[in-house]
Structures are given as C-alpha cells and as structure tokens.
Amino acid sequence: MPSISIRNVPEATRDALAAKAALAGQSLQEYLLAQLVEMAERVELTEILAEMKDIASIWDSSVTNEQILDAIHDGRREADEKWDRL
C-alpha cells in the first residue's frame, strides 16, 4: 500500500489532530487514514451538479408543468394504494 508524507505541518495543527485521534480512540495515523478515506469517498457538490446537468440534457425539455403535476399525483396515488393493501 502506498504511503503519503506531509511536510511542514504546524505543531498546533499536529497537536489538534492528535487530540482528535485520542478522543476517537485511535492513533494519529489511524485517525488521519480514516479522514483521508472519508474525504476521498465524499461526493463533491460540483460532481453532483455536473451529473444532474448530464441527466437533464438527455430529458425532453418540453415537459409541461401539468405533466409534472400529473406524475406527482400518480405517484402519490400509487403509494396510497400500496398502503391500503397493507
């Protein structure tokens, strides 16, 4: 597994991270690794917006408000019918 080194970390920053690691019951290395993994897995807003733009470009732009409202009402009606069967 590759390693990452970070130089010139201010002492106060290192101390604050070590304190957070201790509160989490982890070594500083364990804590930082978990934080890096979480950061890498997090989807950024710009990625979400780009994906939404791609999806929107595929859709027919001539959908009317009435069609949208009909679809919402149909969905609600289907949900109500499912609950009624329970």
* Secondary structure letter of residue 10 according to DSSP: -
One domain for residues 32 and 54: no
The 8-class DSSP code of residue 43 comes to P
pLDDT for the residue numbered 83: 87
Domain of residue 26, residue span: 11-41
Q: Average pLDDT for residues 12-21, to the nearest whole number? A: 98
Q: What is the pLDDT of residue 61?
A: 67
Residues 53, 80, single domain; the answer is yes
pLDDT confidence tier of residue 34, bands split at 50, 70 and 90: very high
Residue 2 is assigned to a structural domain of this protein: no
Q: Name which of 48, 68, 46 is nearest 59 in CA terms.
A: 68
pTM above 0.85, yes or no: no
On whether residue 81 sits in a domain, the answer given is yes
Helices (H), the chain: 11-23, 28-41, 45-58, 65-85
55 and 74 within one domain: yes
